[in-house]
Amino acid sequence: MQKNLVIVESPAKAKTIEKFLGSDYSVLSSYGHIRDLKSKELAVDVEHNFKLNYVVSPDKVELVKKLKKAAKEAQTVWLASDEDREGEAIAWHLYDVLGLNDADSKRIVFHEITKPAILKAIENPRKIDLNLVDAQQARRAVDRLVGFEVSPILWKKIRPALSAGRVQSVAVRLIVEREREINKFDAEAYFRVQAQFILPDGKTIVKSELNKKFKTEAEAQDFLESLKSATFSIEDINTRPGKKSPAAPFTTSTLQQEAARKIGFSVSQTMSVAQRLYEAGLISYMRTDSLNLSSLALNASKEEITNEFGEKYVKIRQYHTKSKGAQEAHEAIRPTYMSNRTVKGTAQEQRLYKLIWERTIASQMADAELERTTVTVNISNRPDVKFVMNGEVIKFDGFLRVYMEDTDDETVDESMESLLPPMKLNEILNLLEASAAERLTQKPPRYTEASLVRKLEELGIGRPSTYAPTISTIQQRDYVIKGNKDGEERPFTTLVLKSNKITKNVKNETVGADKNKLMPTDSGLVVNDFLTENFPTVLEYNFTADLEKEFDKIADGDIKWTATMQKFYDLFHPVVEQVAASKTEHKVGERILGIDPKTGKQVSAKIGRFGPFAQIGTADEEEKPQFASLTKNLSIETITLEEALNLFTLPRTVGELEGKPVTASIGRFGPYLKYENAFTTIPKGYDPYVITIAEAEQLIKEKKERDANKLIKSFPEDTKLQVLNGRFGPYISFEKANYKIPKGVVPAELSYADCQKIIAEAPAKPAKGRRGATKTTKTTAKTTTKKSTAATKAKPKAKAKRPAAKKKS
């Protein structure tokens, strides 16, 4: 009989912990949550104090049997899931489903997976904190209510398969509002003046910038003209000491932001890599909004800094979180052993670990000491303006020896020089060259994943565990895309004064281009507008933030979770009933563009099952309406009547090949050519509206060559089984699934039996759920305009057993 059973959330963590414990301990994984709210129904009984209907996930049934058997055979079961609310809920579900009691089970927590931390946790067990469990249940129930009651309304009013979520809808709103700010922004041109001067030694050249910008070319021209007869002297030299302090150690959100800036990770990628580092015992817990470092970590950092850089580089700091309701864990993200500067692992793991190590070490290092100098240059005939030079010299590098925090600010101060040469007051300078360059005022920047996380955190929306899932969800549901935006080419003017002569140059530049930024889709725009108009309270930033504070109060034991639920439901459900019963004159999201001059029929743009499209005519007319999908560069919000009518010029006959027509059109997956009932994708760089027959012939020819080379082998035993050439090499295709060919196997020599064996031995690839849990079902909602009949008709379920609560001290 096994004395001790330890249950953790992931198998990787189990493997690491098992190494620290003796033979008296067996470590198993729950693979995340073992049960959840019942799918295909509300599962929140609003008429019986919001009782939640939990069921063991179908893919966890066998696992639960295994855990029950192991728990029955053990003398003590140690519930060692993560220390945040989600982890506490997992422990509670295990306690209930496995039929444990306080006598034979203990709850342990740790924020790093090291032997001392695990042994200390076992020496200091506690009871399950039901306040944390209730906070998690409240969040889960509110999110289920919002999704289950609002989504069916979206299906009815806009189109099927749409969904709403409490935090995701607010995140989409932020992105939509920023996009509209950009669209409304009217850039203004101005002229920025810079000059180069020669010092009295006749050799040294210094750069400066005028402290005024001119609105017009004429003003800039007049100013440069005035410089021809001006003399220039040093009016003021201001030198002052300065300092830079290091950034605090990482929280979840700052790690996500900095990993995006410095190493180009997406938010979800950062969390995935950090999870692996944590489970391998290399870093502390990665879902946290605390800036605190343990005394052990501080002492280890001090020792590391002293040994490497000397005592003058040490400045021990204890940072305090500014985030309200910080609760996810008790320490910032840091290496478990500060002496480990590098770790083994994948390239991604090594890069992220290096970032965490450097940030942690730098946070305990001395300030960088600087000397900042500003030199002002007088213009004899223009006392209203000055040329200014700025310089900055590092006197003591301090923490900069290790690390410098990046910023999302895309502007660069070109007037800043690292070091200015010695200069004296009243020295006369000779003008080498002055230039006035036309620039544009900058539009508001689109959100990156990292800057969206920062904004959500500033607004108090979401918590460390929700940022990455929220950003992933809004992209998966096609409300938001992360992509590039082509800029527009525009001419700009530069005036240059040199050798007392002004020359004018006009060049072209691309403005407004964006890369890897978050932009709303038409679906996102339409759904956001509908929710904002009909559910203004739910999408209000303060309301969502206040609800997070309510969850914090529940976690602290200050209020009951059911009271929060009742207050929310009393506000939310009447609005649902009202919106569900309301009628609109036309489909939500439809935009009337005008009248088609040829037919006299109405032209509109709207959202359909397969995306945005333009329509000529209406459904109530005798003649069936015409439809055309919007191309990727068009949006319902900005499309013009002319652009919409142009869509109906497709399909277009490009010409003939061997006496047969070639047509160009746009389908669900983009532009294509049709020839002999075969389809060829029109790649980027070609326009279906103007593509020539010569270009089409070349594309069709290339497609035929690719198809001819694609098939390596087929089998008369089953025509659905093929060996094919793909982008990443040969593979087996069978019944719409692809299978990797093992290394060393020659694809052309595969027999039918060989292929069947490879298919049979291929590993299953279940979809990953939260915290590594697999999920095989997808929750769907049903329209609820009255109090949930699903909840009230369901048979009462035995109340989940609650262990004795850990009381608030």
- Which pLDDT band, with edges at 50, 70 and 90, does 8 fall under? very high
- The CA distance from 388 to 367, in Å, is 27
pLDDT at 416: 52
| Euclidean distance between CA atoms 19 and 26, whole angstroms | 10
Task: Kindly report the backbone phi and psi dihedral angles of residue 473, in degrees, each rounded to the nearest multiple of 5, phi listed first.
Answer: -65, -45
Residue 568, number of CB atoms within 10 A of its CB: 21
Q: What is the mean pLDDT of the chain?
A: 88
Which contiguous run of DSSP H or E holds residue 178?
Answer: helix 166-184
State residue 185's pLDDT score.
92
Pick the range with the lowest mean pLDDT from 122-131, 252-261, 591-600, 606-615. 606-615
* Cβ-proximal residues to 744 (8 Å cutoff; 6+ apart), any chain: none
* pLDDT digits 0-9 by tens, 396-412: 999 999 998 777 655 54
| Tokens encoding 492 | 């700009």
Q: Is 745 exposed, middle or buried (0-12, 13-18, 19+ CB in 10 A)?
A: exposed
For Cα atoms 624, 627, 632, give the angle at the middle one, nearest 5 degrees: 175
Annotated catalytic residue, options 25, 31, 95, 285: 285
What are the tens digits of pLDDT across the range 563-586? 999 999 999 999 999 999 988 766
C-alpha distances in angstroms, 303 versus 294, 477, 581?
Answer: 14, 49, 68
The phi-psi region of residue 13 (left if phi > 0; otherwise alpha if psi is between -120 and 50; otherwise beta) is alpha
Q: What are phi and psi of 276, to 5 degrees?
A: -65, -40
Encode pLDDT of 771-807 as tens digits: 444 443 333 333 333 333 333 333 344 445 555 545 4
Mean pLDDT confidence for 135-151: 94
Per the annotation, the verdict on 403 as an active-site residue is no
CA atoms within 13 A on the CB side of 304: 22
Omega within 30 of 0 (cis) for the link into 651: yes
Residue-wise pLDDT for 495-548, tens only, equals 999 999 999 999 999 888 899 999 999 999 999 999 999 998 888 899 989 999
Q: In terms of Cα–Cα distance, which of 585, 550, 584 is closest to 568?
A: 550
417 vs 439: CA distance, rounded Å: 21
DSSP single-letter state for residue 556: T
The tens digit of pLDDT for each residue in 446-499 reads 999 999 999 999 998 888 888 899 999 999 999 999 988 888 889 999 999 999
Task: Give the HSE-up count for residue 739: Cα atoms under 13 Å, Cβ half-sphere.
Answer: 21
In angstroms, what CA-CA distances link 687 with 619, 628, 637, 670, 690? 31, 16, 22, 11, 6
Question: How far apart, in Å, are the Cα atoms of 496 and each of 22, 195, 204, 500?
Answer: 78, 10, 21, 10
Going edge to edge, which strands form the sheet with 737-740? 711-714, 722-726, 729-734, 737-740
Local structure of 392: helix, strand or coil? strand
Q: Could you give the 3-state DSSP secondary structure of residue 171?
A: helix
Segment 69-86 shows an average pLDDT of: 93
pTM here is: 0.80
User: pLDDT tens-digit profile of 87-111?
Assistant: 999 999 999 999 999 999 999 999 8
| DSSP code at position 335 | B
Handedness of CA 651, 678, 695, 513 (dihedral sign): positive
Task: Answer yes or no: are the C-beta atoms of 348 and 170 closer than 8 Å.
Answer: no
Q: C-alpha dihedral over 634, 639, 642, 646, to 10 degrees? A: 30
Query: Any idea what DSSP says for residue 797?
Result: P
Cβ atoms of 180 and 519 within 8 Å: the answer is no
* Residue 603 dihedral angles phi and psi, to the nearest 5°: -115, 130
> Residues 417-458: pLDDT tens digits?
667 899 999 999 999 999 999 999 999 999 999 999 999 999
CA 428/CA 509 separation, integer angstroms: 37
User: Tell me: the pLDDT tens digits for 255-306?
Assistant: 999 999 999 999 999 999 999 999 999 999 999 988 999 888 999 999 999 9
Which pLDDT tens digit goes with each residue over 309-346? 999 999 999 888 765 555 444 789 999 999 999 999 99
Say yes or no to pLDDT of 129 above 90: yes
Strands 591-595 and 602-608, how do they pair? antiparallel
CA-derived radius of gyration, the chain = 33
799, 58 Cβ separation under 8 angstroms: no
CA separation, residue 151 to residues 27, 294, 571, 783 (Å): 41, 45, 18, 8
Distance CA 528, CA 637 (A): 13
50-78 average pLDDT score: 94
Q: How far apart are CA 495 and CA 505, in angstroms?
A: 6
